[in-house]
Amino acid sequence: MKWIGFGFRLEGADCTECIPPGYGAPELGRPGASLTPATDVFGVGMILLQLVTGSLPFPPSHYGSAAELRRAMVETPWPVLVELMRVPSAIASVLGPALAPDPTDRYRDATEMLAACASVFHSSSLSSRPPPATTRGPRR
């Protein structure tokens, strides 16, 4: 077995079967496509997008086949997706490169994505929120 993305596969098996639909990078559907750390960056970007918005931009149940799902992922422009999903701009600036349809336009690996996250989140209003109020009253 070989570890790839978010699943296991037998050597030589079709890797589109081991990635949960909606999280796999578009290149997973191309015969002979090479899988790189940027392939995993796409999946992490989808997870982050789902955490922020509460849903996937391309719910697999809305598509008749994996090919239709991949086509939607490749053909939907990122600015349209951000607007439709109401992604805060600071988070959108990190997710844009992570979810680029072309792997050469993505972060090269998780380290590069983490650096982008740290830079954006430390400089945005997201990091300057006051700590949450405690729900307990004073001790007596």
Cβ 29 vs Cβ 67: under 8 Å = yes
CA quadruple 40, 103, 113, 58: dihedral positive or negative? negative
Q: Look at residue 126 in the predicted model and tell me its pLDDT.
A: 53
Superfamily of domain 2-126: Transferase(Phosphotransferase) domain 1 (1.10.510.10)
Q: What are the φ/ψ torsions at residue 9 (nearest 5 degrees)?
A: -150, 155
Domains of the chain, residue spans = 2-126
3-state secondary structure of 10: coil
In this predicted model, what pLDDT tens digit does every residue of 19-69 receive, in sequence order? 677 788 888 877 777 788 999 999 899 888 888 888 888 787 888 887 788
